Amino acid sequence: MDTLSQFFLGSSYYPPFHDPEDWERDIARMQELGFNAMRTAELIATWEWVEPRKGEFDFGWFDRVFELSEKYQLQILLGTGVGNPPIWLLDLYLEVQILSHDMMGGFMHEEGQLSVAPARGKILII
C-alpha cells in the first residue's frame, strides 16, 4: 500500500520504560489490535538512553525495536528526544537548561529529585 494514502493507527511506546522481555509481546499485541504504526523515542529521557555518558552511544534498544516493528509490520514514527537533555549534559553545561521568563528552570534527576537553578547560579537540590 502507498504509505502516503495509508491511515496510521497506533500507539505511543517507550521501550526504555518497559522490560526488554516484554517488548515483543507488546509489539505483537499492537499488530493483533490492528495497529500499523508505533510512535517512539521522543519523550522523557530518550537522549539519555542513546547517549548515557558524553560521547558514549548505544543504539541497541533502537535496533531491537526496529527489528520487532518490521517483524510485526508496524511503521515507526520516530521522535528525537532532544526536548529532554540527559542529566550529564545539564551537569556539564548548566546554560543549556530551559529557563522560564523569571530565569528559573528545572529538571528531574534519576533519583526523582527536582533541581531548580537560577540562570547564573548554583543548582539547588530540593
The 10s digit of each residue's pLDDT in 41-59 is 775 556 778 888 899 988 8
Higher model confidence: residue 31 or residue 113?
31
Tens of pLDDT along 72-105?
Answer: 999 998 877 666 778 888 888 877 766 554 444 5
What is the pLDDT at residue 118?
Answer: 43
Range with the largest mean pLDDT of 21-30, 56-65, 78-87: 21-30
Strand spans (E) along the chain: 10-12, 37-40, 75-78, 104-108, 114-118, 124-125
Bridge partners of residue 87, in order along the sequence: none
Q: Residue 11 above 80 pLDDT? A: yes
Higher model confidence: residue 31 or residue 16?
31
Chain centroid to Cα 85, Å, comes to 10
For cell 541497541, the residue is: 60
Q: Residue 33 above 70 pLDDT? A: yes
Interstrand relation of 124-125 and 114-118 (parallel, antiparallel or unpaired): antiparallel
CA angle 75, 78, 33 (to 5 degrees): 40
State the average pLDDT for the chain: 77
Range with the largest mean pLDDT of 16-20, 44-48, 85-89, 112-116: 16-20
Helix (H, G, I), strand (E, B) or coil at 105: strand
At a CB cut-off of 8 Å and minimum separation 6, what does 102 contact? none
